[in-house]
Each structure stands twice: as structure tokens, then as C-alpha cells.
Amino acid sequence: MRSQRRRAVVASTVGTTIEWYDFFLYSTAAALIFPSLFFPAQSTSVAVLAAFGTQFVGFAARPIGAAIFGHYGDRIGRKATLVTTLLIMGICTALIGALPTYESIGYLAPLLLTVLRLLQGVAVGGEWGGSVLLAMEWGSPKRRGFMASWPQLGVPLGLLLSTALVQIMSAATGDAFLKWGWRIPFLVSIVLVGVGLYVRLKVLESPEFAEVKKTQAVVKLPIVEAFRTQWREILLAAFVRMSEQAPFYIFITFVLSYGTKHLKLPQNSLLVDTLIAAAIGLISVPLFGHLSDRIGRRTMYAIGIGCVAVFAFPYFGLLNTAVPGLVLLAIVLSLMFHDMQYGPQAALIAESFGANIRYSGAGIGYQLASVIAGGPAPLIAAAILAGTGSSTWISVYILGCCVVSLVALVLLPRRTLDV
């Protein structure tokens, strides 16, 4: 049992890391590379908006992926769906690395880029539910916050790997980075997928889903059943993520564009700061997941919401000084406060649903936040900056997201497993 529990955690974490590596790699490229390669006919600000627009397509597709793979995850099991999502993501990322630019094939280039981003979103949408459930359902009920936080490590690990490889290739290829150097991190995804598949094929199905099958509690249409019986939980799961999801993509994606173009900060400096913050997340995510088992899931999450709200204005205040040490402090604290929510978040949401509809219900609720929060956030921030020339209203936007999340957290029904 202990060896299988360890194997399930490793399989979930490794696979999720690879998926988020692919997803964040696109986010970094959308901020620094794609505007000039795929949207060169536009003005600088419009090109940035267009690149962030293709990024949003991936977020919009995530609930679709959650619905598709949630159905099969609740019908045939967590393991098989996770192998499929990993393959789709890896193939799409590698194809982006081989995609001709606007200079070669004109408007067909951004069109193909958008299609591949759409498929990436579908894959990530199906990934989260399965990876979290595989780890959580193998764990002890008293340590679910900690166990479910391990797949969440895929975010800082994926961010760390993608940012590091972009920086390494940028330094190694110099002026050739925009010509061909940027493609290498995307093509490397194929190797990473091979590693992920090797690990995931060795893990057994989760005991809770095995019990669902044994007792013949499998639902014919899990998505329909989830919306019929727990529609409130699905919506509240989406809104409770507003304070984590929207600020996060401002903190890791919009900040790269804002820092380089508005504050004239060195690109490599911002990437290094992001690397440091992501590295700290390797400790903080499971730490806050563990603390949620001790002080309560909701208490830990509420503390995180409060910290992001309080930091909304100081964050840009520190960035706008353009002083390297203060910029680093802003980026590190922003992701630390994000991790306060992200650590306990998986268990908080997943525990709100029964095992026979958990993949569908938790997955759709979680991924709906991508449409209302994560996806639009860089677009909204870029539009606010273009319209006002100031970061003040971006801070107001972050504060508003925190208010929405706090209300949703209060309204989220308590379940017996929710401490």
C-alpha cells in the first residue's frame, strides 16, 4: 500500500509538471516571443493583446477538456485519462516548436498556433482532476490536503523548468533566439512526455474509484449528474479560485510584458526572479497543503486571499521602483501568497464532490475559473495599462477578485471530509 501510495504521488506530480511546463512555456512565449513572430503586422500593444488572446483560447478550452476527460475519468478510471492528456499536450507543444512563423506562411501561422493552443487547453483541462484525485484518493483522509498538494507542485516545477530553459536558450543562442532558439524548449517536450508516460503506466487505479466500480456506483453520465446534484458547488469552486487564478497569471505572464516594455527592465532579470519564486514554491505549496490539514482548509485559504488582497497595491509599487531587489521581493511575495491558496485548493475543491462524480464536478468547477479568471487576466491587465497608462486599476482588479473569492469560500458547502 505504501509503495503504491508513493508511486501514485510521483506519477501525478511528474505528469502534472510536464503538462504545466508545456502550458507555461506558451505563456512565456506569448509575452516575449510570439508578438513579433506571429503578429508582426500589428502595433506593439495590439500584437501583445493578440498573443495574449491566443493564450486565452487555451484557458477557454480547459472546461471542455474537464468535461470530456471527467466523463471518462468517472466512467473508466483516473489512470487511462491521464495517459491520454499527457500525450495530447506533448504532441501539441512539439508541433508549436516546429510551426512556421508569419513571415513564412502569413495568417495561417497564427491560425495554426491558436488551434494547437486550443488542444493544449483541452489536455490541461482533463489533467488536473485526474492527477489530484489519483494522489488524494490514495492518501489518508487525515492528510488529504498534503497529498493533494503534491500534484499542485506541477505548477512551480513546470514554471521553473520552462522559465529556466527559455533563459538558457536565450543566453546560448543570443541573436538567433528569435530565429530558432525559442523552438528548442518546445521540442524538448517530447522527451519529457516519454518520462511521464513511463511513470504513469506503472501506477494502479485509485482505491476509491476501484470501490466505486466494485459497488457498481459508476454513473452513466457523470457530467449531467454533477450539474444536476451539485451545480452550486461547481460554480462556487470556480469563483473561489478568482483570487488565486487571475492574480497568478498577472504575476507570471503579464509581469514579463509589463516589466520589459513599460519599465524597461532586462528580460533575463525578470526570468531569474521568476525562477527564484518558483523554486520557493517547491516548499511552500506542500507546506500550505500540510497546514490546511492542521488548521483547516478554509482557514488556510482565507489567509491566502487576505494576503493577496493586501498585497495588490504594494506589488506594483515595488515593481515600479525598477530597483532589482524590490522587483525580486514583489515577484517572490506574489507567488508565496498565491501558494497559500494553491496548496490547500485541490483538496478543498475535490472534497466537495462524491467519488463517482468527483473527476467531472471538481474538474469542471476548477477549470471554469480559467475562463472567468486566469485566461482573461493578462488581457484585462494589458487593456487597463493601454487605456490608463497606470497600474493602479490593475491592483483594483486584483482586489475585486479577492472579494469574489472570499464570498464564494463562505458560501461553499461544508462536507464531512472538509476540515
Phi–psi pair at 322, nearest 5 degrees: 60, 15
| pLDDT number for residue 418 | 45
**What total number of domains does the chain contain?**
1
Q: What digits encode the pLDDT tens for the residues 300-334?
A: 999 999 999 999 999 999 999 999 999 999 999 99
Of the candidates 54, 167, 181, 62, the residue with the CA atom closest to the CA atom of residue 109 = 54
Q: What angle do CA 112, 113, 114 make, to 5 degrees?
A: 90
Percent of the chain exceeding pLDDT 90 equals: 34
C-alpha cell at 241: 479560485
Res 152 pLDDT > 90: no
Give residue for cell 500540510. Answer: 290
Distance of CA 272 to the CA centre of its chain: 20
Instruction: Write the pLDDT tens digit of every residue in 164-192.
Output: 898 899 889 888 888 899 999 999 988 88
Of the chain, the end-to-end C-alpha distance in Å amounts to 24
What is the model's pLDDT at position 241? 95
Any domain includes 164: yes
- The type of residue at 39 is F
Whether 272 is covered by a domain: the verdict is yes
Which comes out higher in pLDDT, residue 178 or 44? 178
Helix (H, G, I), strand (E, B) or coil at 46: helix
Q: Is the pLDDT of residue 42 over 70?
A: no
For residues 351 and 334, the model is more confident at: 334
Q: What is the mean pLDDT of residues 356-377?
A: 87
416 pLDDT exceeds 60?
no
Q: Which of 280, 138, 112 is nearest to 211 (CA)?
A: 138
Joined together, the cell numbers standing for residue 343 give 496548496
Q: Which three cell numbers stand for residue 55?
A: 493564450
Query: What is the spatial distance between Cα 347 and Cα 280, in angstroms, rounded to a whole number?
Result: 21
Give the model confidence (pLDDT) of 97-114 as tens digits.
999 988 889 889 888 988
Banded pLDDT at 147 (limits 50, 70, 90): confident
Each residue's pLDDT tens digit, 217-234: 788 888 899 899 989 999
DSSP per position, 120-146: HHHHHHHHHHHHHHHHHHHS-GGGHHH
CATH code of the domain in which 190 resides: 1.20.1250.20
**pLDDT confidence of residue 298:** 94
- Amino acid identity at 325: G
Q: Residue 86 has which C-alpha cell?
A: 499527457
How far is residue 310's CA from residue 307's CA, in Å, rounded to a whole number? 5
Q: Is residue 106 part of a domain?
A: yes
pLDDT band at 43 (very low <50, low <70, confident <90, very high): low
Per-residue pLDDT averaged across 123-133, rounded?
83
What's the confidence (pLDDT) of residue 121?
87
Tens digits of per-residue pLDDT, 20-40? 888 788 878 877 788 888 887
DSSP string, 382-395: HHHHHHHSSSHHHH
Tell me the three cell numbers of residue 167: 533563459
> Looking at the domain assignment, is residue 174 inside a domain?
yes
pLDDT of residue 318: 96
Name the DSSP class of 414.
P
Provide the pLDDT for residue 151.
Answer: 87
Q: Which of 85-89, 204-208, 228-232 has the lowest mean pLDDT?
A: 204-208
- Residue 419: the pLDDT is 43
418 in a structural domain = no
Tell me the whole-structure pTM to 2 decimals.
0.81
How many other CB atoms sit within 10 Å of the CB of residue 407? Answer: 14
Range of the domain at 306: 2-411
Give the other-Cβ count within 10 Å of 267's Cβ. Answer: 15
Say if residues 237 and 349 touch (Cβ distance below 8 Å). yes
Who wins on pLDDT, 50 or 97? 97
For residue 417, is it within any domain?
A: no
How would you class 220 by CB atoms within 10 Å of its CB: exposed for 0-12, middle for 13-18, buried for 19 or more? exposed
Q: Which of 125-134, 175-184, 263-272, 294-303 is predicted most confidently? A: 294-303
pLDDT of residue 139: 67
Higher pLDDT: 210 or 318? It is 318
Cβ neighbours of 65 (radius 10 Å): 30
Measured distance CA(311)–CA(328) in Å, rounded: 14
Lowest mean pLDDT among 56-65, 119-128, 212-221: 212-221
Number of Cβ within 10 Å of residue 72's Cβ equals 18
Higher local confidence (pLDDT), 102 or 52: 102
Out of 130-134, 223-227, 293-297, 340-344, least confident range? 130-134
Classify residue 11: in a domain, yes or no.
yes
Spatial CA neighbour of 316 closest among 201, 398, 230: 398
pLDDT of 384 above 60: yes
